[in-house]
Structure 1
């Protein structure tokens, strides 16, 4: 791949969920000054970019993804002076800052929407998507991501407005050129402050299908699938090209779009650098491998063969189409990586290291979600009252009342998939509230295993996950092949091992990851078996590659070899 090596291609992103990272003022909620206090920690890990989840003024119906003022810091997190200080000190330490851009929708408390719902004649009415009733009912059958219809009736205008998410999150009308200009102005406001990029929330939903046709009914639900008419709509690429031309291309920044329900064939349109849209996207194909009867909240386990197929397809197709991958196991919307893809019991440390190895040696920009680098796990609250997440509460009531599932089965699904799994406070040490806050109570309960799993413990153990991640990041910075090498899946049919090669001109990286809870023998491919090799990183034994090319792998073992393929 002979593409230019932009600075963000050799970078690693550390994602911070501000409410849960570090509380500096003792009110039980993380804040900007708390993040500033921990910049040295992120720098020590080796990350290059900090992605902050929304920090804007918000009623917090959906934890900040309902924005009331894009140019104001939410008071629970601090003020603009706090942000300016954070940005300045981060830059001083060589760290970049990426903000969340949430522009598919706003809060219903945003001044635009307040004016929009006053009258059809108000110029802001067209800032949102309003439709007349059809035979006295909703304009179509689309179902909201958080349950119920996507349409909310407002008597004052005798119309429904569209909200793909909560009813307090009305969708913006991107057909209106004034809306697009407003968004561009918001972006310039932050870019002129010196931020280094945007993660764009559900950016592939900004263009809806003309006519707003009914969506297919899924699993006998009352409501249809809104993604049918909202994902990757007919003008989304036009809007992003315009955004790139008017704003993004004027700054040396990085962009990543969140693009649910987007396959790799569609994704290449967003990231092909010849099209001038986005630098990379977050896809969900590997996140859907354990979906089942109840969608995300099913309790099935992924199959390794499926994981190999999905990740390999994205590696190859994105590279072949002049694009760049984002690499992630977890984020604020997903379960903890080691609980979902590894083993958070006996093999927690080994499997966390293995998962990190598999991801960080692939081509793309890795994203480390706060706590992933110490192996934080899913929580196990025993009662629904201990959960905060809007999606989780909706699922609980639907499972109990509509599907008539038992309390035990409902809570099992929530234990596995609730977004609160990732949102519990960061576990800094074994003191009260895991060192996150001096408050008597925190906005979300700390995971009960914080005395065993915390940063202080990790940094006191030279064999910890933290130091392993630190080494993985260092390898990405030091070895260009991690950035530029082509990807080849190896041993496709192996049901226990995910192995692949990254191939350069004179060297090859051989990556071997055991997903089994048992010891497994791995045979190095014949063409590499007798080459000169160096073990770059391992989460278990030192080099045990014998003369026959056989490697004995412990449960959840990982190995990365640098192989010289030419003199």
Structure 2
């Protein structure tokens, strides 16, 4: 039976000033897995610079680089020993400067990670703290509980598993919400504020266009560091209410950083990696005087279900609209199983992933693309003997399986490392990836790469896409239908094909379509863009 579409309601966002980030498509580069220039099997800044034309051809607006700072690499560079130096593994400061200049020449902005919740245990501050210096107050050292101080100061647990405390040789304990090599900073200490303002200026002066703020919700801990009272394992992405996450005090830090960013020309931005219990709490991070974007993890974790997707979309748009911000949509990143696999793996997973990509790029706001999703890469089952995720070795914490989404990209060729670099790759690439490489997909109109390129190009060309309004239309059960000015998007989450009246002229589809006399046979697990 042919289904007719009818409007149900419309929501108009609050007036807002212009800003490039409000509808930007931003590409995440996991540096060690993007491109290798020197043959050591590990991606680096020179390799990333050489591959920037791929991003320009893809049509994205900006690139986000994961940490390349000097680090012992206990957690993939998120354990920083020197925030102003490039780790030799990735190059040197001249390479960073060259990458930024080349990106700008190609019309790409550059966002870098900043890691303010914790340092490496090899940072000069922490080494001095262990030696008994005044720097101890810049971290969280506490006496233990029990008869001889043999028990941790409280019952907090690390995201990576086990107690969030490690005992020192002197007998006291220090806090680390992640690995023991990542001691948490004490943001109640003024020296921490001063140091990070200086670090931000260092990179802004080099030309960086913004910062992705790691654990933006974690810098302030509840007064007195109270026990949780029950075993509550903190998750990498979750909606828990915990005394060490999403405390109100973090917002004053972000306000001070916003003032710093606004003091530079060129619309420099701050992006919060914040895990909040609700869309309303997350929206607090993007109030007009705070950060510019916050990752929408509720959308990332949403099941493949039309009703659930609509609920998350509505809640997200309502929350960000209430503070005059836009929503930032993301499907994958370096910490989660790739959505091609999350949605079902194999052909089903790819079919759904392609449809989800078109849904994401049609929604109001900004979108992030994790490297390799434009190729339809699946998660890789990395052998246990080759895993490097620190959580993998702690057993009872985060699943520790993040290596599978960090396998180096395939660029070209019929055998590993598929053009990743002149040597091997630090994690093994599957043989099946030869058909998923950039070279294998480029120019093939049915490929996932060309689907992404077409979608991003149309997103720029069609005036109704990007930032703006969304209006839900009534469609069959299991189908999401919404309109934007001059545009309609249909997402069929069901396995079966449906027949409905074509809402316009098809301009892009995640799979082949059949239309006859204004009636479309909408394939199962597909998304179609229509010019209304």
Partner of 2:388: 388
Q: 1:423 to 1:97 in 2, by over 3 A?
A: same
Shift of residue 554 of structure 1? 1.3
Shift of residue 515 of structure 1? 2.3
Tell me, in whole angstroms, the C-alpha distance in 2 between the residues paired with 1:195 and 1:366.
Answer: 20
Tell me, in whole angstroms, the C-alpha distance in 1 between the residues paired with 2:155 and 2:225.
Answer: 9
Q: 1:226 to 1:270 in 2, by over 3 A?
A: closer
Partner of 1:561: 530
1:253 paired with 2:257, answer no
Partner of 2:282: 267
The count of residues paired between Structure 1 and Structure 2 equals 510
Tell me, in whole angstroms, the C-alpha distance in 2 between the residues paired with 1:545 and 1:199.
Answer: 47
Shift of residue 255 of structure 1? 1.7
Partner of 2:115: 102
Q: 1:176 to 1:534 in 2, by over 3 A?
A: same
Give CA-to-partner distance per residue, 1:343-365, whole Å, 9 cap, x none: 44234554332111000011111
Q: How does 1:46-65 map to 2 (within 5 A)?
A: 46-65=59-78
Tell me, in whole angstroms, the C-alpha distance in 2 between the residues paired with 1:542 and 1:519.
Answer: 11
Tell me, in whole angstroms, the C-alpha distance in 2 between the residues paired with 1:220 and 1:379.
Answer: 26
Deviates more, 1:44-53 or 1:260-269: 260-269
Tell me, in whole angstroms, the C-alpha distance in 1 between the residues paired with 2:230 and 2:444.
Answer: 52
1:535 paired with 2:514, answer no
Partner of 2:179: 166
Q: 1:21 to 1:556 in 2, by over 3 A?
A: same
1:81 paired with 2:63, answer no
Give CA-to-partner distance per residue, 1:437-489, whole Å, 9 cap, x none: 332x4211113421221111110412211111111111222223212331234
Tell me, in whole angstroms, the C-alpha distance in 2 between the residues paired with 1:56 and 1:219.
Answer: 32
Partner of 2:245: 231
Q: Which one of 260, 267, 277 corresponds to residue 290 of structure 2?
A: 277
SS, match of residue 206 in structure 1:
coil
| Preserved CA contact (<8 Å) 1:215 1:226 | no
Partner of 2:138: 127
Partner of 2:491: 513
Give CA-to-partner distance per residue, 1:50-102, whole Å, 9 cap, x none: 10000101111100000000011011111111111111111111111100011
Tell me, in whole angstroms, the C-alpha distance in 1 between the residues paired with 2:458 and 2:511.
Answer: 18
Tell me, in whole angstroms, the C-alpha distance in 1 between the residues paired with 2:193 and 2:463.
Answer: 39
| Preserved CA contact (<8 Å) 1:352 1:465 | no
SS, match of residue 516 in structure 1:
coil
Shift of residue 316 of structure 1? 2.7
Tell me, in whole angstroms, the C-alpha distance in 2 between the residues paired with 1:450 and 1:203.
Answer: 35
Q: How does 1:1-400 map to 2 (within 5 A)?
A: 1=13, 2-119=15-132, 122-135=133-146, 136=149, 137-156=151-170, 158-218=171-231, 228-251=242-265, 252-273=267-288, 276-289=289-302, 303-341=305-343, 343-347=344-348, 349-381=350-382, 383-394=383-394, 397-398=395-396
Gaps of 5+ in 1: 291-301, 400-412
| Preserved CA contact (<8 Å) 1:101 1:198 | yes
SS, match of residue 267 in structure 1:
helix
Shift of residue 520 of structure 1? 2.4
| Preserved CA contact (<8 Å) 1:68 1:109 | yes
Tell me, in whole angstroms, the C-alpha distance in 1 between the residues paired with 2:152 and 2:87.
Answer: 34
Give CA-to-partner distance per residue, 1:294-320, whole Å, 9 cap, x none: xxxxxxxx5443232112210232123
Q: 1:490 to 1:419 in 2, by over 3 A?
A: farther
Q: 1:393 to 1:248 in 2, by over 3 A?
A: farther
Shift of residue 140 of structure 1? 0.8
Partner of 1:299: none
Deviates more, 1:138-147 or 1:451-460: 451-460
| Preserved CA contact (<8 Å) 1:348 1:375 | no
Tell me, in whole angstroms, the C-alpha distance in 2 between the residues paired with 1:216 and 1:498.
Answer: 42
Shift of residue 3 of structure 1? 1.3
Tell me, in whole angstroms, the C-alpha distance in 1 between the residues paired with 2:356 and 2:240.
Answer: 33
Tell me, in whole angstroms, the C-alpha distance in 1 between the residues paired with 2:240 and 2:71.
Answer: 25
SS, match of residue 551 in structure 1:
strand
Shift of residue 43 of structure 1? 0.6
| Preserved CA contact (<8 Å) 1:144 1:226 | no
Q: How does 1:396-411 map to 2 (within 5 A)?
A: 397-398=395-396
| Preserved CA contact (<8 Å) 1:387 1:393 | no
- Across the aligned residues of Structure 1 and Structure 2, the Cα RMSD in angstroms comes to 2.4
Tell me, in whole angstroms, the C-alpha distance in 2 between the residues paired with 1:556 and 1:249.
Answer: 47
Partner of 1:297: none
Q: 1:534 to 1:64 in 2, by over 3 A?
A: same
Tell me, in whole angstroms, the C-alpha distance in 2 between the residues paired with 1:220 and 1:492.
Answer: 41
Tell me, in whole angstroms, the C-alpha distance in 2 between the residues paired with 1:215 and 1:523.
Answer: 55
Q: 1:217 to 1:261 in 2, by over 3 A?
A: farther
SS, match of residue 517 in structure 1:
coil
Shift of residue 34 of structure 1? 0.5
| Preserved CA contact (<8 Å) 1:143 1:226 | no
SS, match of residue 367 in structure 2:
strand
Q: 1:333 to 1:492 in 2, by over 3 A?
A: farther
User: Highest relative contact order (Cα 8 Å, sep 6+), 1 or 2?
Assistant: 2
Q: 1:543 to 1:229 in 2, by over 3 A?
A: same
